Amino acid sequence: MNDSKSKNRHTADVLPNSKEAQNYAVASSSVDTKSQSMNISDLKIPVRDGALVDRVSSLIEQTRSIVTRQANAALTLMNWHIGRMIDVEVLNESRAEHATELVASLAQQLTAKFGRGFDRTNLYRMVRFSQVYPDSRFVASLAQQISWTHFRELLPISDDEARNFYERETIERKLSVRELRYAISRKAFERRKIADAQIPDGSDVPLDTFRDPMLLDMLGLKDTYLERDLEEAIVRALEPVLLEAGRGWTFVARQKRMTFDGDDYYLDLLFYSRPLKRLIAVELKIGKFKPSYKGQMDFYLKWLDKNERESGEEPPIGLILCTEANREQIELLEMHKDGIVVAEYWTALPPKADLEAKIREIYREAQERIARRQITTAAAKDSDDYSAHS
């Protein structure tokens, strides 16, 4: 068989009888199709109460939503299977140069037959998709909640933990593609990990609660401003601030008054986290973090725990936001034991490359602190074990 006939066989009839291709065919045929689609019987028919136009409109909107999700799931799975077929039956069976020619030829034929969406770049993206997500059942399930355009934003992320983080964020916070792209560009995963570096096992502060630094460039503050200016700007721009802060945060109060022994004290901002079922006290500070801030926040938390915490809620936790923080000093103070976290906030962002470099450096330092803490903890445990047996 000459090369031209071989090329045509691979592009027009990509079903070679290799053992790997046969294994792929078996795996593909066993996909649980029930997980790939939603039953139209899931429609909730409005009860005969209210205007007819409203009930019909509700039915139309539900149906469109189901059809859209079914179409997206089908498109996503189709792209996965295309990528898998090319990966197994072309790239793994041909020399690199010949495989490139085959994919280019396939792209030309598919584009001529079906139009846009099947150029060489998209075909290689589909291959990457099948490699990053090798389990078709998992893809079928995830495709019910994440669109193909979301996957396109996720695929360039090489770190599995980071990609899983953005998948959860997309699902739990119902992020649009634009919001997902925004979160990735602002290094939401790395900033969450930097904040978590303050929170060892057994801490009173749950992991994945805060981000460090918090990027508050949406407030539009100039180089010089007062704490009250920052507070007012946050209240004015609550929606983007809450999106930056975390999932399920709601605003409770500004300048929350706390009366104790005849004196009044004022907390800058008070939020409530529905996922955490607890109040979150926020203090805003201009300048570098000072150890004295710990005592102030500790007082606020104890007052809130005694006077504002309701039945079924977890103890309040505190967030101190400063323009600059020495993370080694913060680790020494062990404020996590009192339910307190410190984070920097930036009201102006450097250029993209500088932002990425700066976040990478802080992230690296956070990983080093975690590694040192783990070594110290392991050494202490070994010492205790030795003492117990001696």
The span from the CA of 333 to the CA of 199, in Å, is 12
| Lookup: tokens for 225 | 């401003």
Instruction: Report the pLDDT averaged over residues 191-199.
Output: 88
In this prediction, residue 224 carries a pLDDT of 75
Confidence of residue 387 (pLDDT cuts 50, 70, 90): low
- For residue 92, CA distances in Å to 86, 132, 257 come to 8, 16, 67
In this prediction, residue 358 carries a pLDDT of 86
What is the per-residue pLDDT across 241-270, written as a single tens digit (0 to 9) for each? 887 877 788 999 999 999 998 999 999 999
In this prediction, residue 255 carries a pLDDT of 93
Across 194-296, the runs of DSSP E, i.e. the strands, are 214-215, 249-260, 263-273, 278-284
More confident residue, 29 or 105: 105
Mean pLDDT of the chain: 83
Instruction: Report the pLDDT averaged over residues 157-167.
Output: 95
**174 and 145 in contact (C-beta within 8 Å)?**
no
What is the per-residue pLDDT across 335-385, written as a single tens digit (0 to 9) for each? 988 999 999 988 887 788 888 888 888 888 888 888 887 787 776 666 666
Tell me what percent of the residues of the chain surpass a pLDDT of 70: 84
More confident residue, 69 or 315: 315
User: Is residue 279 scored above 90 in pLDDT?
Assistant: yes
More confident residue, 115 or 331: 115
In this prediction, residue 29 carries a pLDDT of 40
User: Is residue 35 scored above 90 in pLDDT?
Assistant: no
Peptide bond into 213 cis (omega under 30): yes
The least confident of 133-147, 186-200, 373-387 is: 373-387
Confidence of residue 39 (pLDDT cuts 50, 70, 90): low
Confidence of residue 153 (pLDDT cuts 50, 70, 90): very high
Radius of gyration of the CA atoms of the chain, in A: 27
The span from the CA of 136 to the CA of 14, in Å, is 19
Instruction: Report the pLDDT averaged over residues 60-65.
Output: 86
Tell me what percent of the residues of the chain surpass a pLDDT of 90: 44
User: Is residue 32 scored above 60 in pLDDT?
Assistant: no
| Lookup: tokens for 136 | 């078709």
Confidence of residue 210 (pLDDT cuts 50, 70, 90): confident
User: Is residue 328 scored above 90 in pLDDT?
Assistant: no
The least confident of 125-134, 208-217, 274-283, 335-344 is: 208-217
Q: pTM (2 decimals)?
A: 0.72
163-167, 216-220, 380-384 — most confident range? 163-167
Q: What are phi and psi of 37, to 5 degrees?
A: -140, 155
Confidence of residue 41 (pLDDT cuts 50, 70, 90): low
The least confident of 298-307, 310-319, 359-368 is: 359-368
Instruction: Report the pLDDT averaged over residues 109-117.
Output: 93
